[in-house]
Amino acid sequence: QQQVKQSPQSLIVQKGGISIINCAYENTAFDYFPWYQQFPGKGPALLIAIRPDVSEKKEGRFTISFNKSAKQFSLHIMDSQPGDSATYFCAASMRGGFKTIFGAGTRLFVKA
């Protein structure tokens, strides 16, 4: 029940295309859903995050869609660029909990 399932494992997208990464969770006590971006040789860095009281959050080319009833959330990268090539992690945590549960990661490659 503590797992966050992420798919796909890897993704290849043409420059200018839309990249979509999906995550699903079981524990309804989760109330914070961040996405992290990791470049080779670097640590993960927060990209965008959402709380379950909203269904969508947009920051520039990055959008999180959240479906509370389905217990799913997804990251959409519009107009994908080669510089977006990285590993993306979805995650979930709960108030009063002391750890963040990470998905297994998606390696995104954007072809020029």
| Helix, strand, or coil (residue 82) | helix
CA 65 centroid distance within chain: 10
- Piece of 14-22, 29-37, 56-64, 74-82 that binds another protein (CB under 8 A): 29-37
Dihedral over alpha carbons 7, 8, 13, 16 (to 10 degrees): -10
Tell which positions 73-102 bind another protein, by CB under 8 A: 87, 89, 93-100, 102
State which residue, 77 or 90, has the beta carbon closest to another protein.
90
State which residue, 15 or 58, has the beta carbon closest to another protein.
58
